[in-house]
Structure 1
Amino acid sequence: MNLSYWEQKSWFSNIDFTIVGSGIVGLNCALELRRMHPKARILVLEKGKLPQGASTKNAGFACFGSISEILSDLKTHSEQEVFQLVQDRFDGIKYLRALLGDNVIGYQNNGGHELFLNKDVALYESCLGQVEYVNGLLRPVFGKNAFKVLPNRFKFSGINGNYISQIYEGQIDTGKMMYSLLQLSYQKDINILNGTEVKAFEDSGAEVLVKTDDMDFTTNKLLIATNGFAAQLLSENVEPARAQVLITKPIKGLNIKGTFHLEEGYYYFRNIDNRILLGGGRNLDFKAEETTEFGNTHLVQNKLNQLLKTVILPEQSYEIDYSWSGIMGVGQQKKPIIKQVSDNVSCGVRLGGMGIAIGSTVGKNLANLIA
C-alpha cells in the first residue's frame, strides 16, 4: 500500500491496541479498553464494508436457551457448567441493555416460545416432564421460574397443543444495536478501518507485526475477535457455522409477537416490522454449513419456506422479501474461548450462536484479560 507520511503518522504509528473484527465482541472490547486507557491509541480492523460474520446478520434474539437446548446441553455439560452458561447470557444481555439503552436497541420482552412439531411428541413430553427440574436449576439466575407451559395462542399449525415458554427472553433490532455501538466507538475516539483484512501476525515479544492484505504495521497488543473466522488466524477449537435467514414482506394484520424456537433451536423465527424473520436449517447438512462462505442453499431455503407455509403462516398469504446468511463460531463446548495466545496477543471467539447474549461481556472480558 502506498502510504503517505500523513497516513502513516495518523493511522498506523504508535498503536497501543489493535482489534481484529468490528462486531459485537470487537467494539465492546475497544470501548472497555478506552474506559481503562483514556489516552491509548486504539485501532479496529474490519475486512468488510460492515461488520462481517454474524453481528449485523443475526436474528436479534436476546435469549438464554430454550428448554430443549438446555436439556441437550446437560448431556455434554455438568449442571454447574450449564448454570454458568445461562448466568453469563443473562448478565451479558443486562450489560448490553445498560450500555446502549433499551430504546436505542429496540429491546422488547415478548417472551421466547419453544414449539414442538407433531412428529416430535417424544421430545415434547420429555421437555414437559423436566420443566420443574430446569426451573429449579436456573431459579438462582432469574429469581423466579423462567419456563412456563402456555397454550398455542398464535394458532401455529402442526404442533403440539402448548408452548414451553421462557418468559424472560427478549428481542432487539440488530441493525440499531450495531449502529449504536459504532457511533459510540467513534465518539470515544476509536479508529475503525473497514476493508482491511488481517492475513497473519507475528508476536516478537516486544510488539506484534500485523500483516494485512495490502500493508504491514506494528502494534503493542493484538486482540482477535473474529468468531466464526477465527480459524483463519488461530489454532483454536472453533468451527464456522453458516446460518441462513429469510424475511417476508410486511404482512397486514400480523399478530405474532415474540421469539420462537423449533427442533432444539435449529430453527427460529420472530416478528419484526410486521414481518416474519425465519432462520436455521444447518442441521439438514452440517458439513455443507461448516463454511466461511456466505450464501444460501436450495435445501435450507426450501425447508424454511415449508415451515412458513405449513406451521407459521398456514392460513395467511405472504411474500418473501429477501434472504441472507451469517457466519457463527461454534465448537464442542458452549463456553466461549477468551485466552492469551502469546505474550501480546489474545482472543475472544466461539460465541456458539449466542452473540447478542454474550458478545458484550466477551468483549469486555477480552479487554480486561490483555490490559
Structure 2
Amino acid sequence: MNLSYWEYTSWLTNVDFTIVGSGIVGLNCALQLRKQYPNAKIVILEKGILPQGASTKNAGFACFGSLSEILDDLNTHSEEEVLNLVKRRCNGLQLLRETLGDATIDYQALGGYELFTENDTELYETCLTKKNEINQLLFPVFDGNVFSEVSNKFQFERIQNHYIFNQFEGQIDTGKMMFSLLEKVTSNNIQILNSVTVDGFTESGNAVHVHTNHFDFRTKKLLIATNGFASQLLEEKVKPARAQVLITKPIPNLHIKGTFHLDKGYYYFRNINDRILFGGGRNLDFKGEETTEFAQTEIIQQTLSAILKTTILPKTPVEIEHRWSGIMGVGSQKKAIVKPVSNHVYCGVRLGGMGVAIGSLVGKELAELV
C-alpha cells in the first residue's frame, strides 16, 4: 500500500499498544488498556471487513456448560479445575453484561435445556444419576441448584422423554453485542484498521516491528487476540475448530424459547426473532473441521437440516434462509492461554468455544498483563 506521510504519522507512528483481532477478546482488551492508560495510542488490526473468527459468528449462548459437558470435563480435569472454569464463565458473562448492559445485548434469561437422543439412554441415565452430585458441587457458585429434570414441553421428537433444565442460562444477540463493543471502542479514541492481515512480527529493543499485508510499523507492545487463528502467528498449541450454523426463515407462532444442547452439546439451537438458529455437527468430521476455512460441508449441513425437520420442528414446515461458519480455538485443556510471549508481546487465545462467556474476562486479563 502506498501510504502518505500523513497516513503514517496519524495512524502508524508512536503506537503504544497494537492488538491483533477485533473480536470479543481484542475489543475488551482495548477498553481495559484505555482505563489503565488514558492517553495511550491504541490501534487494533483486523483482517476482515467485519470481525472474523467466532465473535460475530456464534450462536449467542450465555451459558457455562450443560450437565453432560461438566461430567465429561470431570474425566480430564479435577473438581477444582471444573469449578474454577464454571466460575470464570459466570464472571465473564457478568462482566459482559456490566460493560454493555442487558438491554443493549438483548440478554434474555430463558434458561437452558439439554436434550438426549432416543439412542442415548446410557448418557441420559448417567446425567440423572449424577445431577444431585453436580448441583452440590456448583451450589457455592449459584447459591441454588442448577440442574433439574423437566418434561418434553416443546414436543421435540426422537429424544428421551425429559430434558435437563438449567435455570441460570440465557441468550444474547451476538450482532448487537459486537456492534455495541465496536461503538464503545471507537468512542474511546481507539483506532480499528480493517482488512489488515498481520503476517508476522519481530522484536527489537523496546519495540515490536509488525509486518502486515499492507504496511510495516513499530509498536511498543503487541497483544494477540486471534483465538482460532493463533497458530498462524504463535507457537501456542491452539487448534482451529470450525462450527457450521444455519438459520430458518421466520416461523409463525414459534413456541420454542431458550437455548438447547443436543447429543453431548455437539448440536445446539435457540430461538431468535421467530426463527430457529441451529449449529454443530463437528463430531461428524473432527479432522475436516480442524480448519481456518470459512465454508460449509454437505455432510454437516444435511445432518443439521435433517435434525431440524425430524426432531426440533417435526410438525412445522420450515425453510432455511441462511448458512455460515465460524472458527473457534480449542486445545487439549479447557483453559484459555493468557500469558506473555516475550518482553513486549502477549496473547489471549484458545477460548475453547466459550468466547461469549469468557471473552470479556480474557480481554481484561490480557490487558492487565501489560
- TM-score between both structures, scaled by the size of structure 1: 0.99
Instruction: Tell me what 2:226 maps to.
Output: 226
- 8 Å contact from structure 1 (residues 22, 45) kept in 2: yes
> % of aligned pairs identical?
64
Matching residue's letter, 1:187: S
Greater shift after overlay, 1-10 or 55-64?
A: 1-10
* In structure 1, distance between residues paired with 2:151 and 2:369: 46
Instruction: Tell me what 1:211 maps to.
Output: 211
* In structure 1, distance between residues paired with 2:271 and 2:205: 50
* Cα offset, 1:282, TM superposition: 0.5
Q: Which deviations, in whole Å up to 9, do the C-alpha atoms of 1:262-318 show, x marking residues without a partner?
A: 111110000000000000001000000000000000000011011101110000001
* In structure 2, distance between residues paired with 1:36 and 1:123: 48
SS across alignment from 2:160: coil
- 8 Å contact from structure 1 (residues 205, 343) kept in 2: no
Q: Which deviations, in whole Å up to 9, do the C-alpha atoms of 1:153-175 show, x marking residues without a partner?
A: 10100111111011101100000
Q: Is 1:330 aligned to 2:330, yes or no?
A: yes
* In structure 2, distance between residues paired with 1:289 and 1:262: 19
Matching residue's letter, 1:329: G
Q: Which deviations, in whole Å up to 9, do the C-alpha atoms of 1:22-61 show, x marking residues without a partner?
A: 0000000000000110000000000000000000000000
* In structure 1, distance between residues paired with 2:302 and 2:78: 37
- 8 Å contact from structure 1 (residues 111, 167) kept in 2: yes
* In structure 1, distance between residues paired with 2:252 and 2:238: 42
SS across alignment from 1:210: strand
* Cα offset, 1:214, TM superposition: 1.8
Instruction: Tell me what 1:77 maps to.
Output: 77
* In structure 2, distance between residues paired with 1:2 and 1:318: 50
Matching residue's letter, 1:30: A
Q: Which deviations, in whole Å up to 9, do the C-alpha atoms of 1:248-272 show, x marking residues without a partner?
A: 0000010100000011111000000
* In structure 1, distance between residues paired with 2:278 and 2:173: 15
- 8 Å contact from structure 1 (residues 331, 352) kept in 2: yes
Instruction: Tell me what 1:315 maps to.
Output: 315
Instruction: Tell me what 2:251 maps to.
Output: 251
- TM-score between both structures, scaled by the size of structure 2: 0.99
Instruction: Spell out structure 1 runs of 4+ moving beyond 2 A.
Output: none
* In structure 2, distance between residues paired with 1:216 and 1:367: 23
Q: Which deviations, in whole Å up to 9, do the C-alpha atoms of 1:46-84 show, x marking residues without a partner?
A: 000000000000000000000000000000000000000
- 8 Å contact from structure 1 (residues 117, 159) kept in 2: yes
* Cα offset, 1:4, TM superposition: 0.8
SS across alignment from 1:286: coil
* Cα offset, 1:151, TM superposition: 1.0
Q: Pairwise mapping of residues 156-171 of structure 1 onto structure 2 (< 5 A)?
A: 156-171=156-171
Matching residue's letter, 2:4: S
- 8 Å contact from structure 2 (residues 309, 318) kept in 1: no
- 8 Å contact from structure 1 (residues 205, 344) kept in 2: no
Instruction: Tell me what 1:18 maps to.
Output: 18
SS across alignment from 2:240: strand
Matching residue's letter, 1:193: L
Matching residue's letter, 2:235: S
SS across alignment from 2:231: helix
* In structure 1, distance between residues paired with 2:334 and 2:204: 32
Instruction: Tell me what 2:68 maps to.
Output: 68
Matching residue's letter, 1:194: N
- 8 Å contact from structure 2 (residues 112, 260) kept in 1: yes
- 8 Å contact from structure 1 (residues 112, 169) kept in 2: yes
Q: Is 1:4 aligned to 2:4, yes or no?
A: yes
Instruction: Tell me what 2:369 maps to.
Output: 369
* Cα offset, 1:89, TM superposition: 0.1
Instruction: Tell me what 1:193 maps to.
Output: 193
* In structure 2, distance between residues paired with 1:292 and 1:361: 24
* In structure 1, distance between residues paired with 2:205 and 2:308: 55
* In structure 1, distance between residues paired with 2:125 and 2:307: 22
Q: Which deviations, in whole Å up to 9, do the C-alpha atoms of 1:188-240 show, x marking residues without a partner?
A: 00000000000000112410000001211000000000000000000011000
SS across alignment from 2:295: coil
Consecutive unaligned residues of structure 2, counting only runs of 5 or more, are none
- 8 Å contact from structure 2 (residues 244, 326) kept in 1: yes
Q: Pairwise mapping of residues 1-371 of structure 1 onto structure 2 (< 5 A)?
A: 1-370=1-370
* In structure 1, distance between residues paired with 2:13 and 2:198: 17
* Cα offset, 1:141, TM superposition: 1.0
